[in-house]
């Protein structure tokens, strides 16, 4: 079965999910929507994929950008819509999705209640089968859950305390900051990230967050109390066996910060230097009895893309979790180990 997909909101997340859908042999990208007639709208129009809300038709006509139809027309043609509009707007669109009986996947900027089900592949893929709505949790929550669900399943987690160092803006965002400050975010504790984790995984977790002047990645400092004493080897074994977690051997690789991780993605030839994998610094993993510390980096613009593709399958098909991960990760070219990274980089021309 081919799942017909629409993307409402062709921005940072939407354009990446659209490209990922195009790579799936069991999905068809029917169209994407734009509200502003800019270069991305023009590019989508050249592919015959551009749909716009009815009240915006005139703006596109004036700009000479040809549209394939209205958002309502697009929704009549599809099985699933991925809503990647700015946070809070998806809630308004839900009424339209309901009207056309189309399944919808929302993003982390929406509240859990909008979908009533928050999704993270490694944690709850199977529970999504047959649902009408799902919300792919935000980039930070996706990064946290990849590690936490893996360790909870393998060893068991008693308690998590974490600090999220958030990037100030995405690279294209001109009007955000800070430019020269570290901002408590929020100053009253805890931050929303731990609360968001609990919409998927019922564990004792509390998080704090600060925003810093960088655009490329978030960084998490995790302190996890496990249910039993562990060794560093056991943690490494669990993380290396899990999909979408890339352990970075900082010592010999020379990769000791987020700038170097992004340089690695550039050397790999990743489009827009995307890194769908969660990057865990091997050197940071330290264990004392049941207590584990580690640091990990999240490429905020791309980490949720594989989860969106899995969410489409989980809602609209009977494909198993393992098969969906296999299809998604192989089509998007995800790597499992640092040796795989080296193999990709060594293909330089
Ligand atoms: N950026 C990030 O790091 C991450 C974001 N998220 C979440 O993903 C969601 C989308 O964020 P992001 O991609 O960054 O946002 P962007 O602002 O980059 O993209 C949103 C797009 O939606 C379009 N849009 C705006 N208003 C409307 C509307 N009323 N109807 C249809 N389209 C509209 C805009 O394009 P135009 O108006 O030109 O058509 C814009 O390009 C949010 O919930 C966010 O919290 C999740 C993980 C990471
Ligand atoms: O950090 C993010 O989400 P999160 O902190 O809610 O996990 C996303 O990158 C979106 O962040 P923004 O709301 O600062 O644009």
The pair of three-digit structure tokens given for residue 307, joined into one six-digit string: 């989860």
Neighbours of 26 (CB within 10 A): 15
| pLDDT tens digits along 8-17 | 999 999 999 9
Q: Can you give the pLDDT at residue 321?
A: 98
Pick the ligand that lies closest to the CA of residue 212.
2
| pLDDT tens digits along 218-248 | 999 999 999 999 999 999 999 999 999 999 9
Q: Can you give the pLDDT at residue 66?
A: 98
Nearest protein Cα to ligand 2, atom 15: 169
| pLDDT tens digits along 117-142 | 999 999 999 999 999 999 999 999 99
Q: How far apart are CA 337 and CA 303, in angstroms?
A: 17
Summarize the confidence of residues 103-113 as an average pLDDT: 98
The pair of three-digit structure tokens given for residue 304, joined into one six-digit string: 């949720």
Of 18, 114, 139, 305, which residue is the catalytic one? Answer: 139
Pick the ligand that lies closest to the CA of residue 171.
1
The alpha carbon of 139 and the centre of ligand 2 are apart by a number of angstroms equal to 7
Beta-sheet strands, E only, within the chain: 3-8, 27-33, 50-52, 69-70, 80-83, 103-106, 118-119, 133-136, 157-167, 183-184, 205-212, 218-226, 245-248, 278-281, 286-288, 291-298
| pLDDT tens digits along 86-95 | 999 999 999 9
The alpha carbon of 305 and the centre of ligand 2 are apart by a number of angstroms equal to 14
Q: Can you give the pLDDT at residue 231?
A: 98
Substitution candidate for ligand 2 out of 14, 139, 298 with most atoms within 8 A of CB: 139
Q: Can you give the pLDDT at residue 19?
A: 98
> Is residue 288 marked as binding?
no
Confidence band (pLDDT; 50, 70, 90) for 64?
Answer: very high
Q: What is the CA radius of gyration of the chain?
A: 20
**Are 211 and 183 contacting, i.e. CB atoms less than 8 angstroms apart?**
yes
- Percentages helix, strand, coil for the chain (3-state, rounded to 5) are 40, 25, 35
Confidence band (pLDDT; 50, 70, 90) for 349?
Answer: confident
Going along the chain from its start, the domains and CATH numbers come out as 3-137+304-330 (3.40.50.720), 139-303 (3.30.360.10)
Is the pLDDT assigned to residue 251 strictly greater than 90? no
pTM assigned to the model: 0.98
Is the pLDDT assigned to residue 285 strictly greater than 80? yes
Residue 159: beta bridge partners? Answer: 225
Q: Can you give the pLDDT at residue 1?
A: 83
């Amino acid at each position: 079965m081919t799942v017909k997909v629409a993307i409402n909101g062709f921005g940072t997340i939407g354009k990446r999910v659209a490209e990922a859908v195009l790579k799936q042999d069991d999905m068809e990208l029917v169209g994407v929507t734009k509200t502003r007639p800019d270069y991305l709208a023009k590019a989508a129009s050249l592919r015959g994929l551009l749909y716009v809300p009815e009240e915006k038709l005139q703006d596109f006509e004036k700009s000479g950008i040809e549209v394939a139809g209205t958002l309502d027309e697009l929704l009549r043609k599809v099985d699933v819509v991925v809503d990647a509009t700015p946070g809070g707007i998806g809630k308004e669109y839900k009424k339209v999705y309901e009207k056309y009986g189309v399944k919808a996947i929302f993003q982390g900027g929406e509240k859990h209640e909008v979908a009533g089900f928050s999704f993270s592949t490694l944690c709850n893929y199977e529970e999504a089968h047959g649902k009408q709505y799902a919300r792919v949790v935000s980039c930070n929550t996706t990064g946290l859950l990849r590690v936490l669900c893996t360790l909870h399943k393998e060893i068991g987690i008693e308690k998590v305390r974490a600090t999220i160092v958030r990037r100030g803006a995405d690279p294209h965002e001109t009007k955000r900051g800070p430019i020269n400050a570290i901002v408590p975010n929020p100053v009253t504790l805890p931050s929303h990230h731990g609360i968001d984790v609990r919409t998927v995984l019922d564990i004792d977790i509390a998080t704090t967050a600060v925003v810093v002047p960088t655009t490329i990645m978030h960084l998490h400092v995790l302190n996890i109390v496990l249910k039993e004493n562990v060794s560093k080897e056991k943690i490494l074994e669990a993380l290396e066996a899990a999909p979408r977690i890339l352990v970075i051997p900082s010592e010999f690789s020379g990769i000791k910060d987020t700038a170097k991780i992004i340089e690695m993605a550039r050397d790999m030839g990743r489009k827009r230097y995307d890194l769908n994998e969660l990057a865990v610094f091997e050197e940071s993993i330290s264990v004392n009895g049941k207590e584990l510390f580690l640091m990990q980096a999240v490429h905020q613009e791309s980490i949720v893309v594989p989860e969106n593709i899995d969410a489409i399958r989980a809602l609209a098909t009977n494909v198993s979790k393992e098969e969906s991960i296999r299809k998604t990760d192989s089509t998007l070219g995800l790597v499992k180990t640092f040796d795989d990274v080296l193999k990709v980089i060594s293909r330089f021309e």
